Structure 1
Amino acid sequence: MKLDHETCYRAVQARDRRFDGRFFTAVLTTKIYCRPICPAPTPKRENCIFLPCAAAAHENGFRPCLRCRPEISPGLFAQFEGAAVVSRALNLIAEGALDDGKVADLAEQVGMGDRHLRRLFTQHLGASPLAVAQTRRILFAKQLIDETSLSMTDVAMAAGFMSIRRFNETMQKTYQRSPRELRRIHVAENPENSPTPAEITLKLPFNPPYHWAALVRFLAPRVIPGVEAVGSDFYCRTICLDGLHGMVEVRPVEGQNHLLARIRFPKVVAIAPIVERLRRLFDLNANVTEIAAHLERDPQLCDRVAALPGLRVPGAWDSFELAVRAILGQQISVAAATKLAGRLVEAYGEPLNLETPTETPLQRVFPHPEVLAIADLTQLGLTRARAKAISSLATAVAEGQLHHFANLESAVHALCELPGIGEWTAHYIAMRALREPDAFPATDLGLRRSLSPDNPLTKTQLLEMAQFWRPWRAYAAMYLWLSEGVKE
């Protein structure tokens, strides 16, 4: 990632929020690294170097600033244009792939050798995969110390440290303060913040703008009854991880560049994976400014992009759940598919089991693949072909046949090998569940009509036009859908 020294320095002088998360300022005299919006006095130009990510600063011996809090900087694991492999590897690291694994295993999952992956990380991030994983643990631990009342043992476990001793040593080395000292500092500076132990509330930062209303407009018709609920200022759902149940609620915060997540789950070690899933669900890692700047150069999209600033591609809490929902939506209305999803959950979803019961209309978790693999889904009103498609998908997931894919093409090919999944469904799953920014369901009638209402484009014509939108065709699809009215 190329960083122009003069441009970065001017952004730091102006404390320009548009650059927050795009680089970090490392100060040679203090050995501290900061976000571009840090309120501290601007260092002298000759004392600054600019680095593409927090891990690069960490690997070069700089420690995080306590004032601007790099741990809540947006876009730490954003997509990199032209570096799809790095983006996939970053997503896997964020899911904990290197918490107890090796770089060679990570490289195998993205379809290359570990030496080549290390070179790509150095080229695009200025840091090794292990440094990225270590920095992620440190910064997430710092956020938990500041924003929750978890014990230090729980913080260490939730952040992915293998021992409390290793956690204490790492935090002391990084911040030159013990974890308890860090918490005392934060409590002294923020006496009004008193997190309750019954649930965890965390900030989920993003690069502005964020079009929450557009996200709600897309998700609201598609919520799964009994599992999800969406309103103008909230999204909540039941969750199930490792057989344990919980709930999450996410809300926008007016005037702030973060969403607020409330998490209720009995196992603290699951907090980091839950946060990462929420970040993917709400597409918080997208650099929407660069994506919009690319797409609005096309006359066909420029007005649509201007009308929906900060548009995201809604993700999914669970890939299997989204894939089932996509199959249910084939060739029927959104409302009809939602009704079928409700029947599926009512018949095969486990009743929500919380350690502390709460008043909520959401009373079930989505069915497990092992359950749907052997269920007779025709009793719910599904056609035999659709029931077979869901059963085959569930069997493949339960047997571990569908895991990580090296690229978009391999994902689409593997999905299309399953009965009842065609090109549209495969691209839709890749777009939302697998977070492939270039996925594009070109056979979608709504997309073909949106650019030519009276005479819908052919698939070939649409694909030819969409070449200019690469590598962000999934975002182009969202602009087309939401500006015309979405049909699944």
Structure 2
Amino acid sequence: MNQQVLDREACYRALLTRDARFDGQFYTAVLSTGIYCRPICPARPPKIENCLFLPSAAAAHQMGFRPCLRCRPEVNPAKQRTWAGSNLVDHALRWITEGAFDDDCVEHLAERLGVSGRHLRRLFARELGTTPIAVAQAQRVLLAKKMIVETTLSMTDVAIAAGFGSVRRFNDAIQRNYGRAPKTMRHTSTSNGNMTAGITLKLPFTPPYDWEAMIDFLAGRAIPGVEAVDAGKYARSFQWDGMHGVVEVQQESETNHLLATIYATEVPPIGMIVARLRRLFDLDANIGMIDAHLSADPRLAARVRERPGLRVPGSWDLFELTVRAVLGQQISVAAATTLSGRLVATLGEPIKGDFGAALEKTGISMIFPLPAAVMTANLTPIGLTRAREKALQSLATAVHEDRLFFQPQPSPNKTIEKLCELPGIGPWTAHYIAMRGYRDPDAFPHSDLGLLRALETKNGRPTPAELLALAEAWRPWRAYGAMRLWVQPKILPAAR
């Protein structure tokens, strides 16, 4: 939903009913109070003549509205954007969130995206009703508010973790946006949070959410030493500019959020971690719309009824996912996991830092190898063929020498084409990477044997071409259709 298509009457109806389906789809700026809210705000709804409906929190910030302290815009699930919108805006938002925009220079960001600053500003105005700088500033403020309320980090550490250049800028921004000093917003006077002991944040989503399916999928593909799944919890190591850490994620029962506990050797860029976790667990999907769309096909209707809220697992890092995808070509998931573990044991870096029980509980001990470690390594001792070794070396070299290797392409098809230019990467692998790494909701590896088997009938299984044709009805959510066939291969289609 962008600024051009916001329906004033529809937005007001959603506001009056506090319809959770619209949470993150728009914000209500109240002219009489100077505050902006989520559609589900428990406060008494304002009169429609006092409402201004905006497509993003950043647009409200830019216009001088303050975030509501009751509905907390900093904890709402973001709206999912599709490739049908602006792929460039999606990647710009990703880099802004991960700290690639700390200098607030639009030209530098535009250069990374291969466009002019003027063009990028025009795209942001069209899609989000605001500017890249306003988006970055709003994200810092909302992330800081989230950490003030949900953690016991000192205000200095909150300022660092949220990406403010100084404590003074942090204090000024909070005072300007909330009309209060940061310390007065904390419900407890305790301020001795320690990153090595861990801090916990809430990651909201719009229900339903099939956590069991998500955690089972990740468990089968967890990279030994780097990732672990145990007792319904997912954990993994990470590194950022030489800093090491571990993050654990679990579902909190009967709530619409996951809990992420972050351990690190120093204060990390929390925004980067939160953004990667949201992609990994597909927290911003408009799952109600997706399930409703897929239910229109009798082949999927029974599957949706049995397991509503099935998401597409994302990735923590594109290089890591691509390596794992190449290792998994034409072998079982278990065999690919074994090879991944050998690669990590041979080329990975041991975790630095004493996280005590966090490491003991998970068995995590390594950081996934960086491209520089893979590009010249002899990989045949870990059990790879020469062709597979060459494919990984070529990938690592490309990523190491080109920091923009994974930059967005003009269209999903162009992304697939670029990936297929690398040795050892064919259409199936490219679609899988687009599906999980680039978060393309319409990526579809139609030649996958598991997908073909899932739709087999007494008359036989479809050919890849036939599967591609029947999946046309699932657009633009074919990736979610693929996940259902992988997770639910035995569900019979509903009777016609």
Task: Name the TM tier (shorter chain).
Answer: over 0.9
Amino acid at match of 1:187: T
Q: CA RMSD of the aligned region, Å?
A: 2.3
CA distances 1:301-327 after superposition (whole Å, capped 9, x unpaired): 222233321111111112111111111
Amino acid at match of 2:397: T
Q: Which runs of 4+ in 1 moved over 4 A?
A: 76-81, 193-197
Aligned to 1:126, which of 117, 126, 129? 129
Aligned to 1:414, which of 411, 418, 436? 418
Q: Which residue number in structure 2 is paired with residue 278 of structure 1?
A: 277
What are the within-5 Å matches in structure 2 for residues 56-67 of structure 1?
56-67=59-70
Are residues 1:33 and 2:32 paired? no
Cα 1:405–1:80, aligned 2, differ >3 Å: closer, same or farther? closer
Q: Which residue number in structure 1 is paired with residue 85 of structure 2?
A: 82
What are the within-5 Å matches in structure 2 for residues 350-389 of structure 1?
350-358=349-357, 359-360=360-361, 361-389=363-391
SS of 1:204 mapped into structure 2: strand
Amino acid at match of 1:459: P
Are residues 1:437 and 2:468 paired? no
- Aligned counterparts of 1:239 and 1:154: Cα–Cα separation in 2: 19
- Aligned counterparts of 2:255 and 2:477: Cα–Cα separation in 1: 26
Report % sequence identity: 57
Q: Which residue number in structure 2 is paired with residue 400 of structure 1?
A: 402
Any conservation in 2 of the 1:26–1:33 contact (CA below 8 Å)?
yes
Amino acid at match of 2:488: S
- Aligned counterparts of 1:255 and 1:196: Cα–Cα separation in 2: 28
Amino acid at match of 2:450: G
Q: Which residue number in structure 2 is paired with residue 51 of structure 1?
A: 54
- Aligned counterparts of 2:128 and 2:317: Cα–Cα separation in 1: 28
Cα 1:478–1:207, aligned 2, differ >3 Å: closer, same or farther? same
Cα 1:438–1:50, aligned 2, differ >3 Å: closer, same or farther? same
Runs of 5+ unmatched residues, structure 2: 491-496
Any conservation in 2 of the 1:374–1:391 contact (CA below 8 Å)?
yes
- Aligned counterparts of 1:136 and 1:233: Cα–Cα separation in 2: 30
* The 10-residue stretch of structure 1 (5-14 or 45-54) with the greater mean CA deviation from structure 2: 5-14
CA distances 1:21-77 after superposition (whole Å, capped 9, x unpaired): 222121111010111222222222322222222112112221001111110011156
- Aligned counterparts of 1:356 and 1:137: Cα–Cα separation in 2: 27
Structure 1 residue 245: deviation in Å?
Answer: 1.7
- Aligned counterparts of 1:244 and 1:43: Cα–Cα separation in 2: 47
Cα 1:114–1:451, aligned 2, differ >3 Å: closer, same or farther? farther
* The 10-residue stretch of structure 1 (120-129 or 453-462) with the greater mean CA deviation from structure 2: 453-462
CA distances 1:341-382 after superposition (whole Å, capped 9, x unpaired): 122222222222223443242222212221122221111111
Cα 1:141–1:63, aligned 2, differ >3 Å: closer, same or farther? same
Structure 1 residue 89: deviation in Å?
Answer: 2.5
Any conservation in 2 of the 1:32–1:62 contact (CA below 8 Å)?
yes
Are residues 1:424 and 2:425 paired? no
Any conservation in 2 of the 1:79–1:285 contact (CA below 8 Å)?
no
- Aligned counterparts of 1:357 and 1:380: Cα–Cα separation in 2: 30
Cα 1:195–1:153, aligned 2, differ >3 Å: closer, same or farther? closer
Q: Which residue number in structure 1 is paired with residue 221 of structure 2?
A: 222
- Aligned counterparts of 1:439 and 1:291: Cα–Cα separation in 2: 14
- Aligned counterparts of 2:113 and 2:300: Cα–Cα separation in 1: 32
Cα 1:340–1:141, aligned 2, differ >3 Å: closer, same or farther? same
TM-score by length of 2: 0.91
Q: Which residue number in structure 2 is paired with residue 141 of structure 1?
A: 144
CA distances 1:129-184 after superposition (whole Å, capped 9, x unpaired): 2211111111001111111122222211211112222222111111111112222x
SS of 1:392 mapped into structure 2: helix
- Aligned counterparts of 2:25 and 2:343: Cα–Cα separation in 1: 43
- Aligned counterparts of 2:402 and 2:221: Cα–Cα separation in 1: 27
Amino acid at match of 2:390: K
- Aligned counterparts of 1:367 and 1:376: Cα–Cα separation in 2: 14
Runs of 5+ unmatched residues, structure 1: none
Q: Which residue number in structure 2 is paired with residue 474 of structure 1?
A: 479
Structure 1 residue 474: deviation in Å?
Answer: 1.6
Q: Which residue number in structure 1 is paired with residue 174 of structure 2?
A: 171
TM-score by length of 1: 0.92
- Aligned counterparts of 1:173 and 1:101: Cα–Cα separation in 2: 19
Q: Which residue number in structure 1 is paired with residue 325 of structure 2?
A: 326
Cα 1:346–1:269, aligned 2, differ >3 Å: closer, same or farther? closer
Any conservation in 2 of the 1:141–1:155 contact (CA below 8 Å)?
yes
- Aligned counterparts of 2:271 and 2:9: Cα–Cα separation in 1: 36
SS of 2:425 mapped into structure 1: coil
Any conservation in 2 of the 1:351–1:365 contact (CA below 8 Å)?
yes
Cα 1:71–1:10, aligned 2, differ >3 Å: closer, same or farther? same
Q: Which residue number in structure 1 is paired with residue 207 of structure 2?
A: 208
What are the within-5 Å matches in structure 2 for residues 218-257 of structure 1?
218-257=217-256
Any conservation in 2 of the 1:54–1:76 contact (CA below 8 Å)?
no
CA distances 1:457-481 after superposition (whole Å, capped 9, x unpaired): 3333222333332222222211221
- Aligned counterparts of 1:309 and 1:266: Cα–Cα separation in 2: 39
Aligned to 1:451, which of 449, 455, 461? 455
Count residues in correspondence.
Answer: 481
Any conservation in 2 of the 1:74–1:207 contact (CA below 8 Å)?
yes
* The 10-residue stretch of structure 1 (111-120 or 467-476) with the greater mean CA deviation from structure 2: 111-120
Any conservation in 1 of the 2:163–2:269 contact (CA below 8 Å)?
no
* The 10-residue stretch of structure 1 (29-38 or 193-202) with the greater mean CA deviation from structure 2: 193-202
